[in-house]
Structure 1
Amino acid sequence: MTTDSTPPAGVLRPHAEQQYADELARLAEHDDRPRPPGWRLSPWAVTTYLMGGELPDGSRISPKYIGPRRLMEVAVATLATDRALLLLGVPGTAKTWVSEHLAAAVSGDSTLLVQGTAGTTEEAVRYGWNYARLLAEGPSEKALVESPLMKAMRTGAVARIEELTRMPGDVQDTLITILSEKTLPVPELGVEVQARKGFTVIATANDRDRGVNELSSALRRRFNTVVLPLPATAEEEVDIVARRVEQIGRALELPDAPAGLDEIRRVVTVFRELRAGLTDDGRTKLKSPSGTLSTAEAISVITNGLALAAHFGDGVLRAADVAGGIVGAVVQDPVSDRVAWQEYLETVVRERPGWQDFYRACREVS
């Protein structure tokens, strides 16, 4: 199945291939490099779609991922081989975002998705049955309910698996035959589905979930792993947050309230210092809270602040608009995290020049 490139009116979040259909079409028009079988674009064009760039006609491709280009080149090169790709990283490092855009650029369809949870069953990975039809007619092709992976194999597309290590180990291992033999047996019908060229799998896994349902060595060998890091510098993280907040604000049709870079920079600074357990100047050691304080959470704090500023303020993002969100993100454990947060407020924020408004706002909601 390939989704329509035009999303229905009023859709809150279009799929990547819908939202960026114009960019994908322009890339395809200018893409004269070799394309692997079943691919919509060449590996070079897929990487350009992810990282952004300028085409020969002067049109611009917006960056979808801000980080080391080499990581995206390795990821794309993996998809061009017979290996599956595992995107690994702490929460908020854009694993899901990257997997969606990779699938959109490679096969034009990012919707063939299996969401991994503790309750994910083998049927979600392999196939299921329409039981009413099964009882009435017995096992048949018409009674078969294809999983997203089976659909991807039949059509030569990219299948996505989110939170692979959240799935039970025996369910994970149903992937071994699919990834190694590129076939999916259906013994009830005495047939098998053989993957068409272009089929591959992109899985994501969370660094924090190690030990939940770790991959077996046999399954891990079927993947090439790319570790997505947190942004290397504060300015890089500020850039990511500002870009995503602007995109989300447009999608949600929030009233015009320009995101203030000063407030974004403060939120990013707080998150980075608490994550590292050390202030930017290296002078003060800090207690790190239990939460991840990811870039994605910073984006959420700023977006919520913009909604507050637009609907309940004067339209200008201020410290009071982000204070509640940032306290909620930091204080996940009401005991240990609150101690760490109060200590940070009193020893760092209160003494930092130009941060008095932020200190007062955080004290008020704390």
Structure 2
Amino acid sequence: MTSTDLLRPHAEQAYADELAALAAQDDRPRPPSWRLSPRAVVDYLLGTTLPDGTVITPKYVGPRRLMEVAVATLATDRALLLLGVPGTAKTWVSEHLAAAVSGDSTLLVQGTSGTSEDAIRYGWNYARLLAEGPSREALVPSPILTAMAEGRVARVEELTRIPSEVQDALITILSEKTLPIPELGTQVQAVKGFTVIATANDRDRGVNELSSALRRRFNTVVLPLPATEDQEVEIVARRVAELGASLELPPVPSAMEEIRRVVRVFRELRSGATADGRTAIKSPSGTLSTAEAISVVTSGMALATHFGDGVLRAADVASGIRGAVVKDPVGDQVAWTEYLEAVVREREGWGDFYRACRDDE
């Protein structure tokens, strides 16, 4: 099975050609166990054109210095914490960093309220444990233990969703670079190249604060929302094109107008003011992130392809926008209705969007 057969290939599969081209022309020093030099990792994330003409596509649109700080952190003995509101590409950046540094983004612990300490440390094959007693063969290593033993990058997604007492299992790993296994009377010491990239946000419900002891083990890089409307439109357009190709949706002509409209709506509702700053508006309870804008446009493309005339129109994105905005059926509905009447209804050239949104209610 090739990566083109997969619904969502890992970064190292989807961008294998780019990673190989960068490695072939990368003559800078590489930290132990790294596949690329730190500068080449940043070039992979932000995009560049190599001397032989190979185009490296941008994976992240934002300040270069942020990515330089993140990559420099991974080249030290510190772990990296990517912090930001939902939808600021924390997971995306984490995956691509791991792919570029160690060629493997799959050593992943997904944080939830039910994540146990075994997911951080190790577990046991209980059939073998009962039959043979504690042994290396009965041990089931966590992704982090595997990364330690092999000198690779481990990822912890949604660190603040993990219960606090489980989070603290990371403290010894990050400070001592050692994981004791008392049942076997031994320990695993990290091989050079081992590091941890964690992501976290403090906006969702169910967040567990990081202890000060754990937070000190991380260098924190805050990923901001896109600074300008044009920047956010570029991000949404690129990801929608990639997702459309993966889902085998036919290219939708003239989609940029609706992409820009979705981004404008999200940015205005997020900020609580129109783009020109003249009108204050109520902000809904949701984050209205770039990731949600990508989802709205992708769903609209599917509607236009399968149930429309193949052209992305206001009606194709109206229901998706309303679903993203109205999370609280009372307060958010009021904010949405006021925005439609005070802003959308009066905006020149937006009559089709206003009617589509009203018809969707």
Q: TM-score range by the shorter chain?
A: over 0.9
Pick one of 14, 31, 37 that aligns with 2:26.
31
Per-residue displacement from partner, 1:100-136 (whole Å, max 9, x unpaired)?
0000000000000000111110000000000011000
1:329 paired with 2:329, answer no
After TM superposition, the structure 1 stretch with the greater mean CA deviation from structure 2, 252-261 or 162-171, is 252-261
d(CA) in 2 for partners of 1:358 and 1:76? 43
1:359 paired with 2:354, answer yes
- Once the two structures are TM-superposed, the CA of residue 209 in structure 1 deviates from its matched residue by 4.3
Written as runs of structure 1 = structure 2, the 5 A alignment for 1:187-198 is: 187-198=182-193
1:65 paired with 2:60, answer yes
d(CA) in 1 for partners of 2:354 and 2:34? 52
The aligned residue for residue 108 of structure 1 is 103
The answer as to whether partners of 1:165 and 1:210 remain within 8 angstroms in 2 is no
d(CA) in 2 for partners of 1:266 and 1:359? 12
d(CA) in 1 for partners of 2:178 and 2:205? 29
Written as runs of structure 1 = structure 2, the 5 A alignment for 1:105-184 is: 105-184=100-179
1:225 paired with 2:215, answer no
- Once the two structures are TM-superposed, the CA of residue 255 in structure 1 deviates from its matched residue by 2.7
Please tell me the root mean square deviation across aligned C-alpha atoms, in Å. 1.1
d(CA) in 2 for partners of 1:328 and 1:271? 12
TM-score by length of 2: 0.98
- Once the two structures are TM-superposed, the CA of residue 210 in structure 1 deviates from its matched residue by 8.4
The aligned residue for residue 3 of structure 1 is none
1:342 paired with 2:337, answer yes
Written as runs of structure 1 = structure 2, the 5 A alignment for 1:272-283 is: 272-283=267-278
The aligned residue for residue 248 of structure 1 is 243
Q: Alignment partner of 1:141: what SS? A: coil
The answer as to whether partners of 1:7 and 1:14 remain within 8 angstroms in 2 is no
The answer as to whether partners of 2:318 and 2:360 remain within 8 angstroms in 1 is yes
- Once the two structures are TM-superposed, the CA of residue 212 in structure 1 deviates from its matched residue by 2.5
The aligned residue for residue 234 of structure 1 is 229
1:270 paired with 2:268, answer no
The answer as to whether partners of 1:289 and 1:337 remain within 8 angstroms in 2 is yes
TM-score by length of 1: 0.97
- Once the two structures are TM-superposed, the CA of residue 207 in structure 1 deviates from its matched residue by 2.8
d(CA) in 1 for partners of 2:137 and 2:298? 46
The answer as to whether partners of 1:259 and 1:306 remain within 8 angstroms in 2 is no
Pick one of 290, 293, 300 that aligns with 2:288.
293
1:43 paired with 2:38, answer yes
Per-residue displacement from partner, 1:323-349 (whole Å, max 9, x unpaired)?
010010000100000000000000000
d(CA) in 2 for partners of 1:284 and 1:200? 47
Q: Alignment partner of 1:332: what SS? A: coil
- Once the two structures are TM-superposed, the CA of residue 258 in structure 1 deviates from its matched residue by 3.0
Counterpart residue type for residue 168 of structure 2: D
Counterpart residue type for residue 285 of structure 2: S
**Identity of counterpart residues, as a percentage?**
78
d(CA) in 1 for partners of 2:132 and 2:33? 35
Task: Tell me: CA distance 1:165–1:181, structure 2 relative to 1, closer, same or farther (3 Å).
Answer: same
Task: Tell me: CA distance 1:8–1:241, structure 2 relative to 1, closer, same or farther (3 Å).
Answer: closer
Q: Alignment partner of 1:201: what SS? A: strand
Gaps of 5+ in 1: 1-5
The answer as to whether partners of 1:255 and 1:311 remain within 8 angstroms in 2 is no
| Matched residue count | 361
The answer as to whether partners of 1:242 and 1:259 remain within 8 angstroms in 2 is no
Pick one of 85, 95, 98 that aligns with 2:93.
98
Pick one of 47, 55, 58 that aligns with 1:52.
47
Per-residue displacement from partner, 1:5-24 (whole Å, max 9, x unpaired)?
x7466211110000000000
Per-residue displacement from partner, 1:293-333 (whole Å, max 9, x unpaired)?
00000000000000000000110000000001001000010
Counterpart residue type for residue 336 of structure 1: G
Per-residue displacement from partner, 1:248-297 (whole Å, max 9, x unpaired)?
00001013323611100100000000000000111111100001100000
